Structure 1
Amino acid sequence: MSKSFASTGDMSKKNVTFAEIGPDLYAYTAEGDPNSGVIVGEDCCMVIDAQATPAMASDVIARVAKITDKPIRYVVLTHYHAVRVLGASAYDAHGVIASDATYRLIEERGQQDWESEFGRFPRLFQDAESIPGLTWPNLVFGEELTVFLGKREVKLYHLGAGHTAGDIVAWVPDAQVMFSGDLVEFHSACYCGDAHLRDWPGTLDMIRGFDPKALVPGRGDALTNRATVHEAIAMTRDFVSSLYTTAELSVARGRSLKETYQEARAVMDPKFADFAIYEHCQPFNVARAFDEASGIDHPVIWTAERDREMWAALQG
């Protein structure tokens, strides 16, 4: 029997946790669903990742209102994926910030990604008709940008490719806390369908070099001590490396995509099968790893049609 396509079989409501992880720093998490972060400064706030729809963003906004009366002036998009960015219009923020690489990816594939993710994650697109259109950053940067929330400094870095070509992290120096987006996950599968798998471990090395006291990953519980941060980085590295190494060997041996998928499952299931969204991600992950190992450096655009065709070929 074929498995339910992507996350269409998961319609259960997730419990949201909104917790302080450092001084005036908060993590919005929901049992493996996309996380958001909140940084409260002297005169305003910054939200990291907007959620998938304005309706879902409104829950983040309501929780921020319970802890401060300071306005949300900035929304940071760690990357371009629809489940992260399409709720941005709800915030009425002065600045919507992303890397210039993310802006180019929105231009290239933003609409296709929206249609693809809507098909894969129906539960995450609550009140989808409220989305006014693609989210366009109005402040972009190359490698580094400093934003001041009053006197509080937030450093935004594009450390390198990984989950996508445009991932950025937010670093709060006064608290030594990082918001990593999907470059780091915790007990959740990495989605690698748009990844640069050979580059990802090096980007993780740079994150580890900050030695954060706490970190909000893209998915999974907030990490509130250095030991757990290091564990999450190591698990993410293991996931990405296991995937790519298996695909690279399989391609070198002349194996097909289907055979590569079976080999990757044999290697990765024992370690990661209980991680959130693993079954959803793995076909997309192996397809991208197979492509990269075959010399396709720029990820092929996922469309709603391509999603279904690949799923039928690997999971049918």
Structure 2
Amino acid sequence: MSARWIEVADGVHVRRHEELDLSLGLVVGNDACLVVDTGGDEVQGAEWAAAVRAVTPLPWTVVLTHAHFDHAFGTQAFLPCPVLAHPNCVDELVIDGAEDKEKWSAHYKTENRPDIAKAIRDTRIVLPDTLVSEPTTVDLGARIVEIAQFGRGHTDHDLVLRVPDADVVFVGDLVENGAPPAFEGSFPASWPTALAGVLELTGPDTVVVPGHGDPVDSAFVAAQRADIAAVVDLARELTAGSVTLAEVLRDSPFPADATRRAIGRLTGRNRSGR
């Protein structure tokens, strides 16, 4: 798979993958390194691990920003090592992991990409062994990485990583660059609050690394937060009967398909999305 490096700060790297426009992270300290997400299957995970080893031989710790296949299914290639995640990430991998393997394997088979379909199908899902339910830090040697969770957003377990000395923040799929936010299975009503937490970590020069797309700045995050809040407000108006669905789709800052998914999480039978 085609991929390239971006060094966003000294010793802080982003691996940009053409497939799914995926961004994976690497933070290098004096004594250890930290790997942010592991890719979508064991093959991609092995390629990612080899790319990390081309940068540094230091021992690694893995942090999963969330449980979705493209961020969490490549972990086997990094073992043995500590694997950090939110407790709900473990739950989702246990409950939905096998179904996600079948779903995405079928997706790539339909796209006539049997190599990726097989890689996903053959992947061994690894469960994180170190749970992060409170703010914590990882000491890499002369460099600290802070890890926090700001509530439900893209999932109910999104982890955010901050590298204070480099002014870089990794946010997983709480932010999307180049595509609308992925609302399927999300919590749109509380997502703006999660992004408010992210913004508290940022300044005008902060580099924010989304789960997909090139790095962005705090202004981009603020704008996406405002757009998600606007869709939440439109859904409330729709529920109250003050606007029609056609008007919601017209006024939404996102394409119709994404807006429908967000509305579905906020209304009707999908009230868990609140």
Correspondence 1:187 to 2:171: no
Q: Is the 8 A contact 1:39 1:45 kept in 2?
A: yes
Correspondence 1:28 to 2:40: no
Q: Is the 8 A contact 1:193 1:288 kept in 2?
A: yes
Q: Is the 8 A contact 2:88 2:156 kept in 1?
A: yes
Identity %: 25
Q: Is the 8 A contact 1:42 1:151 kept in 2?
A: yes
Structure with the bigger RCO (C-alpha within 8 Å, sep 6+) is 1
Distance 2:150 2:168 in 1: 16
* Residue of structure 1 in register with 2:141 after alignment: 150
Distance 1:126 1:264 in 2: 40
Correspondence 1:127 to 2:119: yes
TM-score by length of 1: 0.75
Amino acid paired to 1:234: A
Q: Give structure 1 stretches of 5+ with no counterpart.
A: 1-12, 224-228, 274-278, 301-316
Report how many aligned residue pairs link the two structures.
266
Q: Is the 8 A contact 1:46 1:74 kept in 2?
A: yes
Distance 1:125 1:231 in 2: 37
Shift of the alpha carbon at 1:75?
1.3
Q: Is the 8 A contact 2:189 2:273 kept in 1?
A: no
- 3-state SS, counterpart of residue 218 of structure 1: strand
Amino acid paired to 2:21: D
Q: Within 5 Å, which residues of 2 pair with 1:57-136?
A: 57-71=45-59, 73-120=60-107, 127-132=119-124, 134-136=125-127
Alpha-carbon spacing, 1:187–1:287, altered in 2? closer, same or farther (3 Å): closer
Shift of the alpha carbon at 1:25?
0.4
Shift of the alpha carbon at 1:100?
1.3
* Residue of structure 1 in register with 2:169 after alignment: 178
- 3-state SS, counterpart of residue 175 of structure 2: coil
Alpha-carbon spacing, 1:272–1:293, altered in 2? closer, same or farther (3 Å): closer
Amino acid paired to 1:96: V
Shift of the alpha carbon at 1:288?
4.8
- 3-state SS, counterpart of residue 40 of structure 2: coil
* Residue of structure 1 in register with 2:208 after alignment: 215
Q: Give structure 2 stretches of 5+ with no counterpart.
A: none
* Residue of structure 2 in register with 1:6 after alignment: none
Distance 1:106 1:168 in 2: 15
Shift of the alpha carbon at 1:16?
2.5
Alpha-carbon spacing, 1:144–1:65, altered in 2? closer, same or farther (3 Å): same
* Residue of structure 2 in register with 1:294 after alignment: 268
Q: Is the 8 A contact 2:187 2:265 kept in 1?
A: no
TM-score by length of 2: 0.85
